[in-house]
A = this chain, B = another copy of it.
Amino acid sequence: MSSLTPTARVILGMLKLGVGTGYDVKKAIDTSTRFFWTASYGQIYPELKRLREAGLVRAKDEPRGRVKRTVYSLTPKGERALHEWLTDSENVIFEIRDEGLLRLFFGDVLSREEVLANLRMQQQLFEMVLARFREIEVRARDGFAEEGQRYPYLVLRYGIDFITWSRDWFAEVERRLEAGGPLVELEDGETGGGKRGLVAG
């Protein structure tokens, strides 16, 4: 079982990938894991301090000119902790958080037009995120051939594929709602008629 805090996980990983300062950890997160894992300075710097006190990272002063600058790297203990977390098969959980889905969930509370507006807004949001990802993707492709940086690119591709899929799913629902037909088709014979809903009945 990994005892690393969520923030420690990204930090150790980023340090292992060659990122040095707290500032750079934040930048790396913002340009790569941001869409599925974030962290703020308010977490990063205190966590670096804790990791150091716990002996998982070491700090070295490497000022740039007169700007003080602390470069961190993994200790053997830190390497072990990172590896342990990454190969831990016990504590794999599935949990995401998505406010757009929560809005859709409560669609029955809204008018048809309001739901349609939300569906369109959601798709626009996806398009914006896609545009950003594609920009990053072009720049990231260079680093792809370089050994030791294949997976960040792979995950970026996951992001692009996932958002494309999700956008299309929302588009399909929009189409159905516009057409006035059923929102989803039921595969088996059962067309309902019972009394209990998903939530309250």
Instruction: Give me the interface of A with B, judged by CB distance under 8 Å.
Output: 6, 9-10, 13-14, 16-20, 24, 28, 31-33, 35-38, 82-83, 86-87, 89, 92-110, 114-115, 117-118, 121-122, 125-126, 129, 136, 139-146, 148-158, 161-162, 165-166, 169, 173, 183-184, 186, 190-201
Chain A contact residues: helix, strand, loop or mixed: helix
In the complex, which residue of chain B has the Cβ closest to the Cβ of A91? B99
Q: CB-CB < 8 A to A82: which residues of B?
A: 106, 109
Complex partner residue of A118 from B87, B144, B148, CB under 8 angstroms: B87
Q: Is the CB of B152 within 8 A of A162?
A: no
Rank and list the top 5 A-B pairs by shortest CB-CB distance, nearest first: A142-B194, A145-B192, A143-B197, A107-B151, A149-B197
Q: Is the CB of B35 within 8 A of A155?
A: no
Q: CB-CB < 8 A to A115: which residues of B?
A: 151
Q: Is the CB of B13 within 8 A of A109?
A: yes
Q: CB-CB < 8 A to A32: which residues of B?
A: 105, 198-199
In the complex, which residue of chain B has the Cβ closest to the Cβ of A120? B89
Complex partner residue of A199 from B38, B102, B152, B183, CB under 8 angstroms: B152
Q: Give the distance to chain B from A107, nearest Cβ to Cβ, in Å.
A: 4
Q: CB-CB < 8 A to A145: which residues of B?
A: 191-194
A36 vs B102: C-alpha distance when bound (angstroms): 8
A96 vs B162: C-alpha distance when bound (angstroms): 12
Complex partner residue of A36 from B101, B196, B197, CB under 8 angstroms: B101
